[in-house]
Chains A and B, each alone.
Chain A
Amino acid sequence: MTDLTTAVDAVAADDAKAENAENAAKAATAVTAATPRLAPTPAQTVGPFFGYALPFPGGGDLVPPGHPGAVTLHGRVLDGAGTPIPDALLEFWQAGPDGSRLGAPGSMRRDETTGGFAGRDGVTFTGFARVATDADGRYALRTFAPAGVPYLSVCLFARGLLHHLFSRAYLTGEPGYAEDALLASLPPARRATLETVRERDGVHRFDIRLQGGEDADGGRYEETVFLDFA
């Protein structure tokens, strides 16, 4: 994959010399998804000051609180010393309870009158959630268990993290939960980091450990499995 990318980039550089802008535009529309040509924009850390820009009210309420059948997913984000991270941002993307992967607009509806947020409409399941951790490194969201795939996809941003990380939260014991190829490929201790702890009916805990290490009491803990979709 790496070699392929290098080769393709070299071809792209030659092309850029050889073709005028019009031809390049034609070529860009003709290529397929499997042939990367443009070099990507590098990621940078979200920094400490995203709080007035990215989180929005109801960001973690994919379904209204108290909704029948809702599942609560909550936990902490911890660093390599076991210290809670108070300035992380988590995003979740998931299939709907009907198995739909299309999502829907309306996660962060705006209020035209005030310029503030109007909140979700309480009807549409958008499939997307965004929550910042609090001062204790905690987050919570309320959602439906996804159908068709047994996990919520997670994207983690934080000050100190130069390039975001992807993971998955597999909802242990919920309807539709099943072992999949990724879980099956992992040794037990690693695999356990992707599986939620079912605390009681409809309440799951999912802690994210950005780096493995020892906590203040000398206990070892396992680093969460992070994913690459290259």
Chain B
Amino acid sequence: MTAPTQADIDREMRAAGDAYAGRRAAGSAPGEHPARDYPPYRSSELRHPRQPLTVVQDPDAMELSGPVFGAADVTALDADLTAHHIGEPLGERITVQGRVLDRAGRPVAGQLVEVWQANAAGRYAHRRDRHPAPLDPNFTGAGRCLTDDQGRYAFTTVKPGPYPWRNHVNAWRPAHIHFSVFGTAFAQRVVTQMYFPGDPLFAYDPILQSVTDEAARGRLVASYDHGLSVPEFSLGYRWDIVLDGPAATWTEDTP
């Protein structure tokens, strides 16, 4: 079997997009998340369930509570990915800030946000990433922090580079930072990716395009925020995260 070309993948992505537009026109709700079965992303073929999910509506479900993290689970330096080695990493230094909210707009306070990313050349500090871009001895690319009482997180890092992968011939991922976020309930857990505004690779990437709803895709893209840029140090990006899923009943006492 010959490897698919970008044109093949483009055709499949268009078909999936058209099918989604048809369902919307027929009155279905917006797709807030990627479909797990998205053929243009080849690895999804054998890694998605075929049976529908079983809906659990149980006020006593364990998943309405969730794990907690504290001061001992992070160090202050963990949020500065440029400070994990003796020297300074190469690349465009950036600060990424935002808030973690639930769907009612309430801040998610004191919860864990983890990030990982490629270096400025588009290479991960992972032995399975063998593509011929240089590793940076001063950059690993993993960090974490706890949200403050307003749900705010902040990281200092370098802008990751785009990189090739083997989904199809000449496949390239747009630059992105992986985010792992906890809510107050395990059911709110999310792992996702933050993209940078104006990246020319968006249209070619089946992982981003697996979110077939345009507005939902837009929620994965940070905005450049000049107010977050630090003079003579870094460029600022803002990206807020809204967690899906239910949590235990909220009361006036909940922070």
Contacts and interface: CB of A to CB of B under 8 A. Distances in A.
B103 interface: yes
A228 B29 CA distance: 17
A211 B192 contact: no
A103 B105 CA distance: 24
A73 to B, nearest CB: 15
B47 A225 contact: no
Contacts, number: 278
A175 B169 CA distance: 54
Given A33-B247, A80-B46, A228-B53, A162 B207 contact: yes
B4 to A, nearest CB: 16
A20 interface: no
A33 B246 contact: yes
A92 B49 CA distance: 20
A64 B26 CA distance: 55
Contacts of A6: 29-30
Nearest to A80: B46
A217 interface: no
Contacts of B63: 93, 153, 166, 227, 229
B156 interface: no
Contact of A52 (B116, B216, B250): B116
A52 B65 contact: no
A28 B104 contact: yes
Contacts of A128: 67
B190 A165 contact: no
Q: Interface residues of B: mostly helix, strand, loop or mixed?
A: loop
Q: How would you classify the secondary structure of chain A's contact residues: helix, strand, loop or mixed?
A: loop
A161 B48 contact: yes
A138 interface: no
24 contacts: A27-B105, A28-B106, A33-B104, A38-B102, A41-B190, A41-B192, A41-B240, A41-B243, A42-B192, A44-B208, A50-B116, A52-B125, A93-B63, A101-B65, A107-B67, A108-B69, A109-B73, A115-B78, A158-B47, A162-B38, A166-B187, A182-B54, A212-B50, A229-B63
Interface of B: 28-30, 32-36, 38, 41, 43-51, 53-56, 58, 60-75, 77-78, 84, 101-106, 114-116, 118, 124-126, 128-129, 140-142, 178, 180, 186-187, 189-193, 207-208, 210-211, 215-217, 219-220, 240-247, 249-250
